[in-house]
């Protein structure tokens, strides 16, 4: 089985680009709840799998850096 490509900061920022608020300030680190939901959906679409994030993991998604770490780890952990 081939290894999945890593999820990095550039990927997360690219996924957030379609959101109007984000495109006005691409340097903004903090995520709002809509951006978190959008990112989870985008990652699921990109990797073709459903992420099973628990409440603690979702609560950790506060910044772009958090998204890279938490979502990246979740993708790698999926069979």
Per the CB < 8 A criterion, the answer to whether 63 and 30 are in contact is yes
Q: What is the pTM of this model?
A: 0.84
Side-chain half-sphere exposure of 2, counting CA atoms within 13 A: 4
Model pLDDT for residues 13-69, shown as the tens digit of each residue: 899 988 866 666 667 899 999 999 999 999 999 999 899 999 999 999 999 999 999
CATH homologous superfamily for the domain 9-77: ACP-like (1.10.1200.10)
């Amino acid at each position: 089985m081939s290894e999945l490509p890593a999820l990095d900061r550039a990927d997360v920022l690219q996924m957030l680009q379609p959101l109007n608020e984000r495109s006005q300030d691409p340097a903004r680190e903090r995520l709002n709840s809509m951006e978190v939901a959008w990112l989870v959906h985008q990652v699921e679409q990109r990797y073709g799998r459903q992420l099973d994030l628990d409440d603690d993991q979702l609560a950790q998604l506060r910044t772009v850096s958090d998204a890279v770490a938490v979502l990246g780890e979740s993708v790698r952990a999926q069979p």
